[in-house]
Structure 1
Amino acid sequence: MRVGIVGLGTSGTTLACLLHDAGHEVTVLEQAADPRPVGAGIWLQALGQRVLDRLGLLEPLRAVSRDVDRVAIHTASGRRLVDLGFDALPGATPALGVHRGALFTILHTAVRERGIAVRTGVVVTGARPTPSGIAVETAAGDLGTFDLLVGADGSRSPVRRSMNVTTRDHSYEYGALWTIVEDAGADRHRVDGTLYQCLSGTSDYLGVLPTGRTGASMFWSVKASGMARVLEAGLDAWRETAAPLAGPYAPLLDRVEELLPAGYRDVVVRTPVRVEGRYGAALVGDSAHAMSPQLGTGTSLALADVWSLAHALATHSRLAEALPAYARERAAHLRWYQWTTRLMMPVFQSDLAPLAWPRDALAPWVARAIPRTLIGTLCGDRTSPWTSWPLPGLDPV
C-alpha cells in the first residue's frame, strides 16, 4: 500500500520502519523543517522495550539509558508513601530512563538507513477521502493521496480533527516545568535507579527520573495558568520553593539552568480508525489517546499502537478488515490506563487539597497489599488488576 504517516516522533518513525519492512511504500510527513532531538526524560516500560527489540533497536537504546527498577514516593514532611522495587513482581523487566532525544536519534537513524521517504517542513492541516485515496491537506493545497493515512501527529492532531472521531479533548489544569541536569564530575551526587517523587498536598510535587547514563530529568508540578509567574520569578525563587521536596536530590537544584513548560491533554476518541471504501485513516499515540504522564505510559502505549496496527495490516488482506481489528485489539488496554490515569490526577495534580490526607493514609497500605498489581501496571501491559495484554504476535522476552 501507499502509506502516509504524519509525524516524525516515536510512533511515526517506529511505524514507518515496521511498514517499510513489511513491503509497503511509506512516506513520512513532518512539520518541522529541521527535526532535532529534543525533550525531557521518558520512562520506557517493558512493553515498549519489546517492540523496539523486534526492530533490533533495544540494545543501542540500552547503551545510552539506565535501568529504573524502583519507585519511591514521599511527602514533604518525610513520610514514605510508596517504596517499591520491580522485584516485587517476579520476572518483571525494569523500565528504562531514556532521554527522548536519544530515542529520536536511534529511530531517525533507522528510518534513514531504510531509505524511507521523509518530507520535512510540511504542515498538515487536515485530510479527506477522495476517489484516489486519502488526500493530505496543507495550506498550499493537497500534497497527495494515500491508501492509508496514519495520524502520529500528537495530541492536537489535525488528522484526528478531520476524522471527526473525538469524544474528549481538553487541557489538564496542571502541567509541569521540566529540566535535565547532568549528574557527573568530581562532585557527582549519584542518581540511582529510582523514580523519585515528593508531594506537598495535591498541587505541588517534585519528580526526579534517571535519564541516560549521567543525567536526571526533574519535573515540577505547576498549574498551567501559573507557569509564567514561576518562570518570571526566576530560578533562585523556584529553588527555594522546590528545596523542601528535593530530599536526597537537593544538590541537583543548583545545576538547573532552565525550566521548560509542558502541558498535558486528555484525549479520547470514539474509534481510532476510519474506513472510506478501499482507503482508510488511523490514529496512533497521543493523537488517539493523550493523557497525563502520571504512569509514564505514553511512549509504551504509542509503541503498542504501532505494533498492533502493523500486525493487523499483516494478518488481514483488506484494509476494511484490518483497521477495525486494530481498533478492537487496542480497546481494553487503553481503557485501563486512561481510567487509571484519570483517577490519579485529582490526588496528584489538582486543587482538591482535602484528598491529600486519605491519599497519604491509604498509599502505604495499598503498596503493601498489592505490590504485584502496582508493578504490573508500571510495566505497561495491564488490562485490569488481574489481567495483562501481550502484543499480538509478539511473545514476551
Structure 2
Amino acid sequence: MRAVVIGAGIGGLTAAIALHRKGWEVEVLERAPQLEPVGSGLAIAANALKALDVIGVGDEVRKLSAIQGTAGLRSSDGKWLMRTTNDRAVATFGDSIVLLRRATLTELLVERLPKGALRLGVEAGFGAGTELGAGPVSEVGVDDLADRFGADLVVAADGIHSAARRALFPGHPAPIYAGVTAWRAIVPKPEGVVQTHETWGRGLVFGVMPLAGSEVYVYATDVVPAGSTFADERAELVRRFGSWHDPIPELLQGAEKVLRNDVYYLDKPLPAMHRGRVALLGDAAHPMTPNLGQGACQAIEDAVTLAATAPDLEAYTRARLERTAMIVARSAAINRAVTLTHPLAVRLRNLGVRLGGKLSPDLLLRSQAPVLGWEPPAASWSGREPGARV
C-alpha cells in the first residue's frame, strides 16, 4: 500500500518512517526547497521517547540529548516554586525527559527515510481556502485526492494553519490566538551550573533548557496583541527579562538569532482526525499552546498510532481524538494561569504552586501522569514489541 505524507516536519517524518516499517511505500512532499535548521530546542518526554523507540530512533535521540535533570518552576526573583529530579521522573514513567535541538531530531528522522522518499520544493496540491487537490473539494472529493496521488492514504501534516484541515472541515472554527507571543533562541552556555526551569512573572514566562554540549535553549512569552511587530527582538527580550534572576540576563546577552511567533491553538476539537483516506496529524489536527511541551511529542504519538491502525482511519481517530483534545485543553489552562497580570492573582497563583510542591514533592510529576504515562499501540513492528530499545 502507498502513503503520501504532506509536510516534512517532525510529525510527518515520523509518520513516514513508521508507515514504512509497517510495509507501506511512502513519499514525503515538502513545499520548502530545503529543510532549514530551526534555531529552537525540544523537550522529548517519556511518552514520545517510547514512540521513537518503536521506529528505532529512541536510543540515538538519547545519545545526542541532554537529560533534563533537576527541573521546576521559579518566580521572577529566582525562588523555586516547585521542582523535581530526573530520578523521580524515571521512577514514575520509566524514562527521562531529554533535551535536544529540533534540527538534530529532524536530521535523525530524514536519515531513516527510504531512499528517494523525500521530495523538496513540491506543492502538495492544497490550495488556499477550500481548495483540495486539483479543484474545490465539492468537485474532486476527499478520496479523489488520494487517487490523484496514486495513494491508499494521504497524511496531512501541514502545520498549525493547515490548508488540509480547512479543506476537510471547512465549517470548523480556526485556531484562536492564545493571547501571547513567543520568542525562542539557542545561546552559548554560561559558566557554572544551568538547571532546566521555567520562571513565571506577571503575564511573562521565561524558560531555560540546557542542551548537550555548550548550548542552552531559551524561550519566553508575553501578553501582547496578535500581530504585534518589534524592530529588534533581542532588545524586546532584554527589556522584559533583563532584570530577572540569574542566569537569564547572561543568557540574553548571547541571543544572536531570535525567532518569534504568535501562539495559536484549536479551542474546539475537530469531529474526527480523518476524512475519507486523508488523516490529519500533529499541529494540522490539534494545534496547542507550548505550555506542556507536548506539541512535537503528540505529533510523534500520532505518527506511530496512525501506522499501527492504518488503513483503518476510524481506529486512528478513536485512539487519538479524545487524548489530544485533553492535552490541548490542559495546555491552554496552564497558559491562562501564566498570563495572569494582576499582582494579587499572581501572588496567589505562586503561593498555591509553592504550597502544592511542599505538600506533595511529586505533584509536578503526578499531574503529568495522564500525559507522560502513554504507551504505544500493541502492534507488530518488524518483530519487536512496542517500546523495545534498539
Same fold (TM over 0.5): yes
* 1:297 and 2:323 correspond: no
Give unpaired runs (5+ residues) of structure 2: 379-385
1:18-63 per-residue CA deviation (whole Å, 9 max, x = no partner) reads 1122222212111101222214111111111112222222232223
How far 1:153 sits from its partner (Å)?
Answer: 0.8
Measure, in 2, the Cα distance between the counterparts of 1:234 and 1:305: 34
How far 1:263 sits from its partner (Å)?
Answer: 2.2
Q: Alpha carbons of 1:238 and 1:396: their partners in 2 closer, same or farther (altered >3 Å)?
A: same
| Residues 142, 275 of structure 2: 8 Å contact kept | no
Pick from 96, 102, 105 the counterpart of residue 103 of structure 1: 105
How far 1:258 sits from its partner (Å)?
Answer: 3.1
Alignment of 1:127-276 (within 5 A): 127=133, 128=137, 130=140, 133-135=143-145, 144-164=149-169, 166-167=172-173, 169-183=175-189, 188-192=190-194, 194-201=195-202, 203-225=203-225, 231-232=230-231, 235-236=234-235, 238-267=237-266, 268-275=269-276
Give unpaired runs (5+ residues) of structure 1: 137-141, 314-318, 383-387
1:234-264 per-residue CA deviation (whole Å, 9 max, x = no partner) reads 6456425312224234322221223221222
| Residues 77, 245 of structure 2: 8 Å contact kept | no
| Residues 206, 219 of structure 2: 8 Å contact kept | yes
1:255-282 per-residue CA deviation (whole Å, 9 max, x = no partner) reads 122322122211231210112xxxx111
Measure, in 2, the Cα distance between the counterparts of 1:242 and 1:344: 20
Aligned length: 368
Pick from 337, 342, 349 the counterpart of residue 332 of structure 2: 342
How far 1:395 sits from its partner (Å)?
Answer: 4.7
Q: Alpha carbons of 1:308 and 1:251: their partners in 2 closer, same or farther (altered >3 Å)?
A: same
TM superposition outliers: structure 1 runs of 4+ over 6 Å: none
How far 1:324 sits from its partner (Å)?
Answer: 1.1
Which SS does the other structure have where 1:4 is aligned? strand
TM-score (norm 2): 0.85
**2:18 aligns to what?**
18
Measure, in 2, the Cα distance between the counterparts of 1:24 and 1:219: 38
Q: Which amino acid aligns with 2:169?
A: N
**1:391 aligns to what?**
376
Measure, in 2, the Cα distance between the counterparts of 1:370 and 1:309: 37
Q: Alpha carbons of 1:103 and 1:132: their partners in 2 closer, same or farther (altered >3 Å)?
A: closer
Which SS does the other structure have where 1:5 is aligned? strand
1:70-122 per-residue CA deviation (whole Å, 9 max, x = no partner) reads 322221234321122243352432211110011111111111x5442525332
Q: Which amino acid aligns with 1:261?
A: R
Deviating more after overlay: 148-157 vs 122-131 = 122-131
Measure, in 2, the Cα distance between the counterparts of 1:226 and 1:334: 25
Q: Alpha carbons of 1:235 and 1:168: their partners in 2 closer, same or farther (altered >3 Å)?
A: closer
How far 1:376 sits from its partner (Å)?
Answer: 4.5
Q: Alpha carbons of 1:117 and 1:179: their partners in 2 closer, same or farther (altered >3 Å)?
A: closer
Which structure shows the higher strand fraction?
1
Measure, in 2, the Cα distance between the counterparts of 1:222 and 1:48: 28
Q: Alpha carbons of 1:34 and 1:354: their partners in 2 closer, same or farther (altered >3 Å)?
A: same
Measure, in 2, the Cα distance between the counterparts of 1:233 and 1:134: 47
Measure, in 2, the Cα distance between the counterparts of 1:372 and 1:334: 24
Pick from 317, 320, 333 the counterpart of residue 323 of structure 2: 333
How far 1:347 sits from its partner (Å)?
Answer: 1.4
Measure, in 2, the Cα distance between the counterparts of 1:177 and 1:132: 37
**2:63 aligns to what?**
63
How far 1:389 sits from its partner (Å)?
Answer: 3.2
Pick from 309, 313, 328 the counterpart of residue 323 of structure 1: 313
How far 1:167 sits from its partner (Å)?
Answer: 4.6
Measure, in 1, the Cα distance between the counterparts of 2:151 and 2:240: 52
1:354-390 per-residue CA deviation (whole Å, 9 max, x = no partner) reads 53122111001222344445314547735xxxxx432
Q: Which amino acid aligns with 1:269?
A: L
Q: Alpha carbons of 1:283 and 1:370: their partners in 2 closer, same or farther (altered >3 Å)?
A: farther
Q: Which amino acid aligns with 1:153?
A: D
* Structure with higher RCO (Cα < 8 A, 6+ apart): 2
1:304-344 per-residue CA deviation (whole Å, 9 max, x = no partner) reads 1111111112xxxxx4xx11111111134223312211211
TM-score (norm 1): 0.83
| Residues 30, 121 of structure 1: 8 Å contact kept | yes
